[in-house]
Structure 1
């Protein structure tokens, strides 16, 4: 993500109402992505886990918001300390920021930048939750969010996006979160499931999505919100770069959906709604780091490649034996890696920055930088997430009991069920046949 819209030294930067309003709308769009993710994941699990899956996303809205205000924004975007972390006392509690104080050289207030970045911080741990579906304690998951965003997300966001962060200064391009969000979350998912283990019945019992309409609804909300995620990451709308990011987001997502479906048809003989939704998300993931550095033709290539690669990758869990419940690794880790590395091939040098990829005469330089960013974020998140999950497991246990898992975590953790199949509480008799006639007769007699 760029530090801001560049201005000439002689120009006086002033607050832009248009850019400020635009960024507030983008922030709201990114916020909608977390409920969208909840529906996307919620539709993919079995009936007995729907509410827990929804809550694992929604709780991130609560926890991360408070941590971001208290210290997260300062750690991620405060004054650089050794290229690894930031800090600024004025950002603690967001208490020392003026109402119209501008963020760097941009034309938007610090408050607007802070709330926009907050929405990124919220959805990133929520992405991890899909890998742990059906089997973890809600309290353990909540504690994991607290520790993970503090030790992993806030520092990595500083590395990648903050002035002085070591990956930022190296020249790694990540327009809106290929490394900081998707590779970060995907690697964390792998680290956590290595501790938590497989679901009971993995590879034996059918674990099909209980509601594909919910999956499609969630994917649609994600696609919609992603325009704020990507187009908003230029922090303004003065030079057309945000518009290019918007177009590339749409194009790559469409291409990835078609690529996934084509692979699915050739491999399994059917075009599935789950494949369409997953392919779209794979395209959104892959274009996220690249949307400000490639052309629409490059976006098509990135989308198709990501769609096929992610469709292939989701089957690895059955071959390698790790239980990634909802394919966080196959879609977000693989998609994030693909999109980040393909910048090194398809960057035109004419949009976000002058850096060119291999296919545009830039040689291997940018590809090398992208590789460093991918590998370092992946390894850091994987190792630290594994350690955090292990500590939580030793202290309080990360998993629910076997009986609770079999019966369903909704009832065990939340004392609720998503659907009332018995009709209790509705108070209505059957509305067909004799019963309907009797009810009508009573109304007439009255």
Structure 2
């Protein structure tokens, strides 16, 4: 029997047909994707209990002073904080941060320490006070005091709020308030020489019914008072806003006022070859047995862009500028672009003084007394230019 041989192409076709697998059909369209709907938000659950307070912060060179249960305890905490710091230097300074409250040092004041700076929580929030026989606080080298009130509450002898002999001590944003001293009541007291320290944006208030009241007392010091600082002496026998004895004081953009001294009210008094510089300053003395804005005793002064005014009851002396000499020296007073107003006299001159007034207004009384007084481009309260009765 003869075997049949099929061509290869026919065999391949047969194999494909016999396998039973057809060509894939066209792909269908995908179905739509289902979305899960978000249900409404439920009500918040009850608030849980407050957890325990964490540990206090660990400052390397800051010590925080809290108020005590009463002012005397707070004062003891403050004293201990300052005195207990052991390792301190220029390379490792400290800050003592005093919380709001009243800190009463009792019968003993506190001397600050070098490189330990004291900062309160604000002039109206932190008060450090005492009834010490000396100052409430004493400023020393390389120390800054800021943002608090220092108070002396009076007593026998002197009442001094803040005192320093250091030219490297600085006070800023500080109120010094002293009251009810028997002999002298001083808000600020300085005997510091020239240096980078000083007083910026401070207020000194001194009040008493007896003795001298002085807002700022400079005893042989050299100091610049600036940035809107104000000084007030009120009541007592002699009320002095600023007192300068054998020193040099500059007032820049600041104020000095003296009120209600039974003997005299003098906004700024300089005695004993002192030197005074006033730039955009305001001096006012009023309601004293006699009153003066600026009094110079054997001292010189430079006044620019400032206001000197004095007023008092009828029959009482009230002078904007008065000078006198205790020895045989010669002194000068230069006044530029300022206003001098005194209800009895604008200027009281004296031998040994050369007073030069330029571009200024002299209101109220006349210029009088011996001495060399010259006016250039000045005028009286009616804007009559000199020469006029206001200035010979």
In our comparison, the structure showing a higher alpha carbon Rg is 2
Greater RCO (Cα-Cα under 8 Å, separation 6 or more): 1
Shared fold by TM > 0.5? Answer: no
Q: Which has the higher strand share?
A: 2
TM-score (norm 1): 0.19
Q: Normalising by the residue count of structure 2, what TM-score does the alignment of the two structures yield?
A: 0.21
